[in-house]
Amino acid sequence: MAGLASALGVKVCALGMEAKFLRDFPLAEHAAELGKLRHCETHDIFQRLGVLTPQRVHLKNHPLANPLTVFNAALDHGSNGDMLVLYPRIIIGYFKYASAIAEVELPLEDLYTGSISISHYPAEIIVYPSTSVDIWGSEDPRVTRIDGTRHMVYVGRTINYFEAHIRRERTLPVLAVEAGRHRWVKVGYFVLPERLRPHVISDKDAFLVQASNGDLLLFHRPHMDDENFYLTISIVPHDEYKRALEEAERGEPVPIRVRGTRTILPVAPFEEKLGWASPPVMVERDTFLTLVHAVDVRLKRYRIFAMLVRYDRDVGPRPIAVTPRYIMEPRAMYEVYGDRPFTVFPCGAVRHGDRLIISYGAADSVVGFAEAGIDDIMAELDHLRLE
């Protein structure tokens, strides 16, 4: 696989280091070919709808009235079609930058009337540091539904995070399951096979997806000790998932061991790393439209492109199309300047008719909202589609 990628001129390494874990995370079908054909250009097709700032988020279950920052928010439909549920990452101090995750309900119409940028919203902190796998922060949530129940995968800053001499599992994807209004249970945390765990520096940008046959797929981005970031999808065995659910109420989250990890796309020569952005929407049976963020080499900007991922049990997950150019990049002042300049970081996406609405972190300082036509995204994908 690595030889094929090299023959196609695909960059399979970052920071000048050989990508030695491609044997463990082999390139999925089409990955090498699609990786070669992308360009460092942008055609921004997302219409900005507004922003939510921390001054308009009011914490109900904390003595501080407002967080210092809200950003990197997951998104889901509410109990009826008129409401959305937002799950922003919040910060209340900069000493350790320890994050929590809040829940905010907002009317869908607020995005289209401009009210999102001027209204005030109550918020409940629902996930916060409390275990050895998230004690230094609960970050960047993504929310999907498995058998109709909301599942949140977020980045846990583990007990190792600030230990300079320990470069192992500093962050891990943690799974929490909704168990009632404003109540989430931390079920488990996803880990690679035991022989690979000593080589994992961090694992993040993760979410859980259910295929039509019930198979569970973990989209995630391990950072290994060869200093490469692998954009991967793994299989979550049902027995591991069920065991975690059964043991959830007994104490700390338990490890959920994944298998069958595949590299879905290598980085391009003009990129430093890739990561999964918002969870996907299904456009055909077991064909998922998802967004990917890329950090460029020159300015370290975050830019966005789209991908179609298809899954079947025999072949496994594979990319079948990518947009040959980026479809979103920082351009508004609140995206260009903030705690982390030049950043658009989608963590949420919902389908609203023929539109895709996304929620994203803008410069790590506010939550941005934007939308694009699904047909417009698919038209971009048709330029570089292999199936």
User: Tokens standing for 297?
Assistant: 């080499």
Spatial separation of the C-alpha atoms in residues 334 and 382, rounded to whole Å: 31
The pLDDT value recorded for residue 13 is: 40
Q: What is the pLDDT of residue 5?
A: 41
Rounded CA separation 30/386 (Å): 8
Q: φ, ψ for residue 381 (rounded to 5)?
A: -65, -30
Query: Which residues make beta-bridge pairs with 145?
Result: 150
Note whether 151 and 145 are within 8 A (CB).
yes
- Please report, for residues 115, 293, 327, the alpha-carbon distance to residue 300 in angstroms, rounded to integers and kept in the order given: 32, 12, 17
Distance CA 67, CA 321 (A): 39
Measured CA to CA, the distance from residue 16 to residue 226 in angstroms comes to 10
Q: What is the pLDDT of residue 333?
A: 98
User: What is the reported pLDDT for 328?
Assistant: 98
Residue-by-residue pLDDT tens, the chain, 387 positions? 444 444 434 444 433 347 899 999 999 999 999 999 999 999 999 999 999 999 999 999 999 999 999 999 999 999 888 999 999 999 999 999 999 999 999 999 999 999 999 999 999 999 999 999 999 999 999 999 999 999 999 999 999 999 999 999 999 999 999 999 989 999 999 999 999 999 999 999 999 999 999 999 999 999 999 999 999 999 999 999 999 999 987 778 999 999 999 999 999 999 999 999 999 999 999 999 999 999 999 999 999 999 999 999 999 999 999 999 999 999 999 999 999 999 999 999 999 999 999 999 999 999 999 999 999 999 999 999 999
Residue keyed to tokens 């931390």: 186
Query: Which residues fall within 8 angstroms of residue 284, CB to CB, at 6 or more apart?
Result: none
Q: So what's the pLDDT on residue 166? A: 94
Length of the chain: 387
- Strand order through the sheet with 344-352: 47-52, 366-373, 355-362, 344-352
Q: What whole-number distance in Å separates Cα of residue 289 and Cα of residue 280?
A: 5
SS (H, E, C) 349-376: EEEECCEEEEEEEECCCEEEEEEEEHHH
Using CA atoms, how far apart are residues 296 and 268, in angstroms rounded to an integer?
9
pLDDT of residue 11: 42
pLDDT at 16: 36
Contact indicator for 339, 333 with CB cutoff of 8 Å: no
Alpha-carbon distance of 142 to 152, in angstroms, equals 6
Which two tokens mark 147? Answer: 């058998």
Structure tokens at 327: 């479809």
Say how far apart CA 95 and CA 92 lie, in whole Å: 10
**Is residue 246 helix, strand or coil?**
helix
71 three-class SS: strand
> pLDDT, tens digit, for every residue of 245-303?
999 877 789 999 999 999 999 999 999 999 999 999 999 999 999 999 999 999 999 99
The type of residue at 105 is E
What pLDDT is stored for residue 244 in this prediction? Answer: 95
Please give the Cα distance from 153 to 264 (Å, whole number).
Answer: 19
pLDDT tens digits, 77-94: 998 889 999 999 999 999
| DSSP element (H, E) containing 171 | strand 171-180
